[in-house]
Amino acid sequence: MLTWKDVINFSVKGNPEPDKRVEKTEAEWRELLTPEQFRITRKKGTEQAHTGALCSAHDAGKYNCICCDTPLFDSTIKFESGTGWPSFTQPIKENAIKYHKDSSFGMIRVEVMCNTCDAHLGHIFPDGPEPSGLRYCINSESMQLQKESIKNEQ
């Protein structure tokens, strides 16, 4: 389980190696993404609080990167933070997320990105629920929910 100390170490000393890399030109990303997805994931934008489609989603499944389809978070670790963005306590795998010190807007935060394609996802804070104490605050536009299929067993 990742802790705040792990997150800070990754942001300072380097991130874990991803399983694979996906790199595209800006023009290729623009073709694949909606204008809002492009603004958020490729230009480090953010969506307005309480407007994201995944904020109130509670279906079982995996939250994948909208750019490269890499699994990022599992629905079992999603929680209601009251912040207006989907919130998670852990990534699906330690190397799914990349951490970067962000000192924009006069504050110091830790930005989280897809470790496969460098898509901006949101930020992480040390004010989440136990046991990790982490809150991954993620833009809905940067993810897609791959719902678990219901198997009919007879």
Residues known to be catalytic: 137
Query: Which three-class secondary structure state does DSSP give residue 51?
Result: coil
Starting at the edge strand that comes first in sequence, how are the strands of the sheet with 120-125 ordered?
78-79, 87-88, 135-138, 120-125, 109-114, 97-102
Contact 139, 85 (CB under 8 A): yes
Contact 4, 135 (CB under 8 A): no
The DSSP output letter for 96 is G
